[in-house]
Amino acid sequence: MKKIVFVCLGNICRSPMAEAIMNQLLEESGLKSKFIIESRATSKEEEGNPIYPLAKEKLIEKGISNFSHYSQVFTKEKYEYYDYIIGMDDKNIHSLLQIVENDWNKKIKKLHPNHNILDPWYTRDFETTYQEIEKGCRLLLEDLIKREGE
């Protein structure tokens, strides 16, 4: 069973949206039992808070309604647990590298290698964020199927 964690700054918008979207894609493809999908924050400022209401509304609008979430922080100790650690932007990647100190297994990647997914907390554009995350999750799933032989 492969373990994937999506990471953003506060774990209340982008990374929980990615967690919910990836779980839905896995469910649709019949691969849900082969993966554990979670999300975490690089910052403690939102720890324990639920998914941001506008992010949750966007998921519901897109047909993902069975999702509840409370922000949790990514810690150095979690590095060994996950097989894939997926950040949303360059700042997330930088923060993750500071947290783990050494990505010796090369687990840390950006969801879109050449593109930052902007934080809708600031942009207020939850539709674009959803679309970008969904596209990234679809590409990640295709890559995992090829890589893991699913």
Q: Which residues are catalytic?
A: 8, 14, 119
The span from the CA of 10 to the CA of 74, in Å, is 10
In the chain, the amino acid numbered 40 is R
Half-sphere exposure of 136 (CA within 13 A, CB side): 27
β-bridge partners, 78:
none
C-alpha dist (Å) from residue 32 to 6, 26, 127: 16, 5, 25
**Helical spans, DSSP H, in 7-73:** 14-29, 53-61
Which helix (H) or strand (E) element contains residue 4? strand 2-8
Nearest Cα neighbor of 64 from 120, 113, 126, 5 is 126
